[in-house]
């Protein structure tokens, strides 16, 4: 078991004020594998004070200096890549090979992206008789989730540092190891004291203390919509900027002229990525009634091709969920789907065979789902796909938009042009056409109750900047 008994504040590993400890478990064995400090409000206050004191100097560093720091972060995380992947496979449950290729690689790419972006981004522009400048917003509280822990951390920390902000990070207590790895890397590269601070603890204590703190200028939060509402409510008392990346119930729209086999396989693969523990997962597959049973058949075959098992030592496509709480929640949704009359095509609420230990759930597909069912409306966060029929394109767009969420989505069509035409009608922050690949430079964020603001690329940098006009 790995024990972290200190917080990282003002450039040093320090004993917390809080005396409690929090245990994180291995998703495949249910054993405690990590123990971290249960920080309290006083710990958050110390970290904010350090970040505030460091801001004036850090905000005035040159672009070249900040770019060099980001390049060192990328190199440091590259050196720790296997450690990151193993932590993800252990705590989150994503199979190691996948964790290495995705979860350990994306944050390295993000640090490199912002190092390069700094070299070309225009922080000043002349508009008539005014000089418009973009300046760092100040002290940033970054509150991050457990499903893609280090990726979501880096999508906040890298642009915040690039902008000239200082940071206090409160990572998820359920999957904390990668946050400590990042802190170790930042310490090793000699980041000035107070520029980055790490405080662990529970959201209602440390998270709320940061959101409420008058010396925090911005809160960047990724997590559930329910928790995001609370963060916004608390932060509003001091009128600070809030960026929220929240839940989703993304549609995967398969049009009449689409290549069904490719479209269905892609939809199932994306829905089950990270055992379905992804806010952008396309969990609602919308299929034309004329081809509905063919889509169901293809989805069943694709789901049943997913091997389930040990994410660390096994050659599997699907690992466990992160915790007993999450497993029970997902099983509850599967039982609800059956009770509400959806047709269980494959999977179900029972444990996968031969996997008595670990938080495993069978890859599950429901057909004959209407968009009013609970499993079609609420974010499940597990390997559960619902297949919903539609009459025509107008009906498909209506169903796709009939949700409180608007984070992601996919459209599959016979041509790219046809797919773009329909994709533009779906109210969501990011949408792929015919399997368009993830672009780390493109903005990511949601419409409606999926959030506020954007992450990644130039748009992600601008979240951490204030705009000032100098009248000349």
Residue 426 belongs to some domain of the structure: yes
Are 324 and 376 contained in the same domain?
Answer: yes
Which tokens belong to 131? 């000089």
In 121-164, beta strands by DSSP E: 124-127, 130-136, 139-143
Please answer whether residues 110 and 157 qualify as being in contact, where contact means their C-beta atoms are separated by less than 8 angstroms: no
CA distance 24 to 369: 36
Are 299 and 284 contained in the same domain?
Answer: yes
Are 159 and 37 contained in the same domain?
Answer: yes
Residue 311 belongs to some domain of the structure: yes
Are 313 and 333 contained in the same domain?
Answer: yes
Q: State pLDDT tens for residues 416-461.
A: 999 999 999 999 999 999 999 989 899 999 999 999 999 999 999 9
Are 228 and 297 contained in the same domain?
Answer: no
Kindly list the catalytic residues.
Answer: 245, 279
What angle separates helix 149-163 from helix 177-188, to the nearest 10 degrees? 40
CA distance 438 to 113: 14
Task: Say whether 242 sits in a helix, a strand or coil.
Answer: strand
Which among 236, 76, 51, 206 has a CA at the least distance from the CA of 136? 51
Q: What is the dihedral of CA 57, 179, 450, 412, to 10 degrees?
A: 120
Residue 98 belongs to some domain of the structure: yes
Are 359 and 466 contained in the same domain?
Answer: no
Which among 327, 233, 325 has a CA at the least distance from the CA of 275? 327
CATH code assigned at 328: 3.40.309.10
Does residue 33 have a pLDDT over 90? Answer: yes
Instruction: Tell me, rounded to whole angstroms, the distance of Cα 278 from its chain centroid.
Output: 7
> For tokens 């399997």, what's the residue?
435
Q: State pLDDT tens for residues 130-166.
A: 999 999 999 999 999 999 999 999 999 999 999 999 9
User: 172: domain range?
Assistant: 2-246+449-471
Residue 444 belongs to some domain of the structure: no
Which tokens belong to 315? 């050659």
Q: What is the mean pLDDT of residues 46-75?
A: 98
Does residue 249 have a pLDDT over 90? Answer: yes
Residue 12 belongs to some domain of the structure: yes
For the chain, the first-to-last Cα distance in angstroms comes to 61
Which among 168, 149, 77 has a CA at the least distance from the CA of 114? 77
What are the residues facing 316 on neighbouring strands?
Answer: none
pLDDT at residue 187, rounded to an integer: 98
Domain count, the chain: 2
Average pLDDT, the chain: 97
Please answer whether residues 448 and 427 qualify as being in contact, where contact means their C-beta atoms are separated by less than 8 angstroms: yes
Are 125 and 30 contained in the same domain?
Answer: yes
CATH code assigned at 38: 3.40.605.10
Residue 118 belongs to some domain of the structure: yes
pLDDT at residue 67, rounded to an integer: 98
Task: Say whether 130 sits in a helix, a strand or coil.
Answer: strand
CA distance 399 to 422: 13
Neighbours of 56 (CB within 10 A): 9
Positive or negative, the Cα torsion across 51, 57, 62, 68?
A: negative
pLDDT bucket at 303, cuts 50 / 70 / 90: very high
Residue 344 phi, psi dihedral angles, 5° rounding = -80, 110
Q: State pLDDT tens for residues 349-398.
A: 999 999 999 999 999 999 999 999 999 999 999 999 999 999 999 999 99
pLDDT at residue 397, rounded to an integer: 98
Residue 89 belongs to some domain of the structure: yes
pLDDT bucket at 314, cuts 50 / 70 / 90: confident
CA distance 169 to 96: 25
pLDDT at residue 118, rounded to an integer: 97
Does residue 80 have a pLDDT over 90? Answer: yes
Are 12 and 69 contained in the same domain?
Answer: yes
Please answer whether residues 125 and 213 qualify as being in contact, where contact means their C-beta atoms are separated by less than 8 angstroms: no
Q: State pLDDT tens for residues 315-343.
A: 999 999 999 999 999 999 999 999 999 99
Q: State pLDDT tens for residues 338-350.
A: 999 999 999 999 9
What are the residues facing 228 on neighbouring strands?
Answer: none
Are 173 and 104 contained in the same domain?
Answer: yes
Does residue 415 have a pLDDT over 90? Answer: yes
pLDDT at residue 381, rounded to an integer: 97
The per-residue b/e assignment along 280-313, b for 16 or more CB within 10 angstroms, e otherwise, is bbbbbbbbbeebbeebbebbbebbeebebbbbbe
Does residue 413 have a pLDDT over 90? Answer: yes
Q: What is the dihedral of CA 305, 101, 149, 321, to 10 degrees?
A: 20
DSSP letter, residue 365 = E
Please answer whether residues 419 and 434 qualify as being in contact, where contact means their C-beta atoms are separated by less than 8 angstroms: yes
pTM: 0.96
Neighbours of 377 (CB within 10 A): 15
Cβ neighbours for 133, distance < 8 A, ≥ 6 positions apart: 123, 124, 467, 468, 469, 470
Are 207 and 89 contained in the same domain?
Answer: yes
Residue 179 belongs to some domain of the structure: yes
Are 329 and 203 contained in the same domain?
Answer: no
Are 135 and 186 contained in the same domain?
Answer: yes
CA distance 92 to 110: 21
């Amino acid at each position: 078991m790995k024990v972290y008994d200190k917080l990282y504040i003002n450039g040093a590993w320090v004993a917390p004020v809080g005396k409690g400890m929090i245990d994180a478990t291995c998703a495949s064995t249910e054993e405690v594998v990590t123990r971290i400090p249960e920080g309290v409000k006083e710990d958050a206050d110390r970290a904010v004070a350090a970040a505030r004191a460091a801001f004036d100097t850090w905000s005035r560093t040159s672009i070249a200096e900040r770019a060099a720091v980001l390049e060192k972060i990328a190199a440091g995380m590259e050196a720790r890549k296997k450690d990151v992947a193993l932590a993800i496979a252990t705590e989150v449950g994503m199979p190691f090979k996948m964790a290495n290729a995705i979860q350990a690689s994306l944050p390295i790419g993000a640090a490199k992206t912002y190092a390069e972006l700094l070299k070309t981004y225009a922080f000043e522009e002349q508009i008539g008789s005014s000089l418009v400048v973009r300046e760092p917003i100040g002290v940033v509280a970054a509150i991050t989730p457990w499903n893609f822990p280090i990726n979501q951390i880096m999508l906040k920390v890298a642009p915040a540092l690039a902008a000239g902000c200082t940071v206090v990070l409160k990572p998820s207590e359920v999957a904390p190891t990668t946050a400590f790895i990042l802190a170790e890397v930042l310490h090793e590269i000699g980041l000035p004291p107070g520029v980055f601070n790490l405080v662990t603890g529970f959201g209602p204590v440390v998270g709320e203390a940061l959101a409420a703190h008058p010396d925090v200028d911005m809160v960047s939060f990724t997590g559930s919509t329910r928790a995001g509402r609370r963060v916004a409510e608390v932060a509003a008392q001091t009128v600070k900027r809030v960026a929220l990346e929240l839940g989703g119930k993304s549609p995967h729209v398969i049009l009449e002229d689409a290549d069904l086999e490719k479209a269905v396989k892609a939809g199932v693969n994306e829905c089950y990525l990270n055992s379905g523990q992804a806010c952008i997962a396309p969990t609602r597959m919308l299929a034309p009634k004329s081809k509905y049973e063919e889509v169901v058949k293809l989805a069943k075959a694709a789901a049943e091709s997913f091997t389930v098992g040990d994410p660390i030592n096994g050659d599997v496509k699907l690992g466990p969920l992160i915790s007993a709480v999450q497993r029970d929640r997902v099983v509850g949704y599967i039982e609800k789907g059956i009770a509400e009359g959806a047709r269980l095509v494959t999977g179900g609420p029972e444990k996968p065979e031969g996997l008595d230990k670990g938080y495993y759930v069978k890859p599950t597909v429901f057909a004959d789902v209407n968009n009013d069912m609970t499993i079609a409306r609420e974010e499940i966060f597990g390997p559960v796909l619902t297949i919903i029929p539609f009459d025509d394109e107008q009906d498909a767009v209506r169903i796709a938009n009939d949700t409180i969420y608007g984070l992601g989505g996919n459209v599959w069509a016979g041509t790219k042009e046809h797919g773009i035409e329909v994709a533009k009608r779906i109210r969501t922050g990011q949408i792929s056409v015919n399997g368009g690949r993830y672009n780390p430079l493109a903005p990511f964020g949601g419409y409606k109750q999926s959030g506020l603001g954007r992450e990644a690329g130039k748009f992600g940098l601008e979240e951490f900047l204030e705009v000032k006009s100098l009248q000349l």
